[in-house]
Amino acid sequence: MDPQLLRSTFAIVERRADHAVTFFYSHLFWHNPGVRALFPADMAPQRDRLFAALTHVVTRLEDPGLADYLGQLGRDHRKFLASPALYAAVGQSLLAAFAHAAGAGWTAEAEKAWGEAYGHITDLMLAGASEAARAGEPSWWDADVVRHQKYGEDLAVLTLRPRQPLPFRAGQYVSVSSLRVPRVWRTYSLADAPRPDGTVELHVSRIAGGAMSTALVAQTDPGEVLRLSAPGGGLTARTAPGGLRTYVCGGTGWAPVRALLAEAAGTEPDLEGRLFMVARSKEYLYGRAEAELLKERLPGLSVTYITAAPNRRRDQATERLLQALRACVHWSAHDVYLAGPPAFVTEVAEVLEELGTDPARIHHDTLPSVGRFATRPSTAAERLLGPPVPVWHDPAARAPRER
């Protein structure tokens, strides 16, 4: 591949990103009518995910971890029933969309470079999918809902029992699909370490306008069946025994942090660390009782609960958190595990670096966006697609994604 040529062409296309993605799907569905049935009725989130994935690949062409990323992406795409024929159709439509958007910038050299690049990307994704199939991994796991517990009107904890063993590590996430919202998948963290009975737990906060979160919080009952994708994510324990660590979670970011602490309680009860739980009000500290139980099992863990003051604006909780972090010391000696909505994670990570935390020791996941880009715009494409004002754990506002 020619990274410089690929990036220079993409720089032209991204200035018309919204137009290019719309053209791509129009071309794909026009020339392959049967493919439309594989996609959800609401295509807006899908359009944004496509360009986000392209941006991720183009900006990391020389990254040695790109092959693993694409292999995992191919493994994950098995849940969409993606076949080699579909990959070929997508490639034809992608090049057609790039040619249309780039105009005179689309040269024979650029077409050749992108054709070769897409072929290489496809090979890596299909290799990841084939490896998963050879290992006997299903395209998805059917899971029975065995418990549905609500906290207020906008948050629920679902306990599921996969019909086949679901191998995962504490801190990972899965994509979830429901027959109530056909062909839609949304990402949620698993909220515990692997359990002896094989059950898993999801924490779901309802998002205004979010079809999946609304279905899971307000409509799903015990006895229903959900589909779970292969687990993914890198927010897993990395600290050597005896090492210091800090956990910071906002809203339902408590789910993966709870999983990490539950794992530590079973393997490293003498852990020394600190936990900061943040919510916009006391009513949303739904995990406080569980945190207290974990603290009893981890006596070396200090726990701080932070909310906004009564009748104060919701983002005051984040301000209070940052003040509390600045009052702590020895950041250079700590691993930090950070979970919550993207804007929250970005802001906290920046402050942690200012306080002396090694960026390589700040661990968090970058989850797929739902709707418009959830993180701060870093390219012209993201700015063009218009990210919303980030608001975390606020059911009354349009949040950027479901976790």
- The values of phi and psi at residue 214, to 5°, are -65, -45
Q: Is pLDDT at 3 greater than 50 in this prediction?
A: yes
Nearest to 402 by CA among 171, 161, 154, 180: 154
Nearest to 402 by CA among 214, 199, 200: 214
CATH architecture, domain defined by 141-233:
Beta Barrel (2.40)
Give dist(CA 147, CA 142) in Å, integer: 15
Residues of CATH 2.40.30.10 domain(s) within the chain? 141-233
**Tens-digit pLDDT profile for residues 161-198:** 999 999 999 999 999 999 999 888 999 999 999 999 99
Residues of CATH 3.40.50.80 domain(s) within the chain? 244-363
Domain 3-134 has CATH 1.10.490.10: yes
Q: Is pLDDT at 100 greater than 80 in this prediction?
A: yes
Rounded to the nearest integer, the mean pLDDT of the chain is 86
- The topology under which CATH files domain 244-363 is Rossmann fold (3.40.50)
DSSP state of 232: B
pTM for the structure as a whole: 0.81
Give dist(CA 356, CA 333) in Å, integer: 9
Q: Is pLDDT at 371 greater than 60 in this prediction?
A: no
